[in-house]
Structure 1
Amino acid sequence: MPRIAPLEPPYAPQIKAHFDAIMPPGADPLVLFRTLATGERAWRKFRAGSLLDRGPLGLRDREIVIDRTCALAGCEYEWGVHVSAFAEAARLTPQQVRATVLSPPDDACWSPGEQALIAAVDALHARAALSDDEFAGLAAHYDTEQILEVLLLCGFYRTVAYVANGLDLPLEPGAARFPPGVRPSR
């Protein structure tokens, strides 16, 4: 059981409308969403982050950033949700999904642009900054709007990891799990 009990149906009409707007048709809202929605301000601020949409990055790059950020933060909950929901559509191979957790940025399974992307995520996680070389690596493959999106996604999903790990959210049924031998931060 999570440390804060999530909302249970029936949901207030406004909350249900929010859930319906961000969940696939017929899917139950995630425990993360139902828990954040117990606090009006927390739920409003989370939705105001406006990073639950597609943005200027393609789905594949977006998911690489999110998966790597969540893996580095030890957040099996959000990593598993994203891998289950988006890995196939993002054309991430099983090897690449594992690499988001286990491999260095220069793993041969990634293109040069993806290697630069992962190196940037790793740097932001480790130092909350990019060196000139790391920034130049990103800029060689991504435009200004895309680079800003990478920075925002890393920060947003680091926050999601803090929330999910801090609340000890139970893993979603059917969501992917970290590869064997990887210990989440729980």
Structure 2
Amino acid sequence: MSRIAALAPPYPPHIQAQFDRIMRGAPPLALFRVMAGHARAWEKFTAGSLLDRGPLPLRAREIVIDRTCALNACEYEWGVHVSVFAQGARLGAEEVRATVIGGADAPCWSAAERALIAAVDALHHRSTLSDAEFAAVKAHYDDDQILEIILLCGFYRTVSYLANGLALPLEDDAARFPVG
């Protein structure tokens, strides 16, 4: 049970319409139901506008999100993303595992993905990128994509704070962190 009660159905029509748009017909996640029960929090959460595809390819986007959630020990959101997006992002079992266990130098990653993961790690640990880290990312991603990477790291750190701070129960059909 979440520390703050989740909105229960039937949902107000405008909330149901938002759930339908975000979830594409699937039942709304606990995180969304908790946030939607509080108008200001829900408005601010959805105003982040990072729940869409954005300028990054799906694979890069999911690597950023999965790694950010893993670094924040947020099994809730990591598991949702792995379950929903890993296959479409062409993330195999070794890569999914490497988002949680291992560094940017894991052999499963391409040069662009190593730069991406190193950037996520740097932002998580130091809240900045060194000139070398920025140059490594810039070698593979354009300015719009780099801004999206930074925004996604911040947004999913916030999502991790929400899921962890609210002690959201793991979604039944979501993946679980790998062991060891």
TM-score by length of 2: 0.99
- 1:178 paired with 2:177, answer yes
> Counterpart of 1:184?
none
How many Å apart are 1:106 and its aligned residue? 1.0
Shift of 1:180: 1.6
Report the Cα distance in structure 1 between the residues aligned to 2:173 and 2:39, rounded to whole angstroms: 28
Match of 2:147 in 1: 148
Name the SS of the counterpart of 1:101 in structure 2: coil
- CA deviations over 1:81-113 (Å, ceiling 9, x no partner): 000000000000100000000011011100000
Q: Cα distance, 1:24 vs. partner?
A: 2.1
For residues 56-75 of structure 1, what are the alpha-carbon distances to aligned partners after superposition, in whole Å with 9 as ceiling and x for unaligned? 00000000000000000000
Q: CA deviation at 1:176?
A: 0.1
Dislocated runs of 4+, deviation >3 Å? none
Aligned pairs for 1:117-128 (under 5 A) are: 117-128=116-127
Structure 1 Cα separation of the partners of residues 153 and 171 of structure 2:
22
- Structure 2 counterpart of 1:18: 18
Q: Could you list the per-position Cα deviations for residues 121-171 of structure 1 after superposition, in whole angstroms to 9, with x for gaps in the alignment? A: 000000000000000000000000000000000000000000000000000
Q: CA RMSD in A?
A: 0.5
Q: What is the number of equivalent residue pairs in this alignment?
A: 180
CA distance in structure 2 between the partners assigned to 1:64 and 1:133 by the alignment: 20
2:133 — aligned with what? Answer: 134
Q: Deviations over 1:7-57 (max 9, x none)?
A: 1100011110110110022x1000000000111000000000000000000
Matches within 5 A, 1:47-126: 47-126=46-125
Question: Percent identity over the alignment?
Answer: 69
* Equivalent-residue separation in structure 2 for 1:176 and 1:153 (angstroms): 20
Which residue in the other structure is 1:4 paired with? 4
- For 2:31, the equivalent position in structure 1 comes to 32
Distance between the aligned counterparts of 2:92 and 2:170, measured in 1?
22
- Structure 2 CA distance, aligned partners of 1:41 and 1:8? 18
Amino acid at match of 1:109: C
The two structures have a TM-score, normalised by structure 1, of: 0.96
User: For residue 23 of structure 2, what is the amino acid of its counterpart?
Assistant: M
**Could you tell me which amino acid in structure 1 is paired with residue 140 of structure 2?**
H
CA displacement at 1:4 relative to structure 2: 0.4
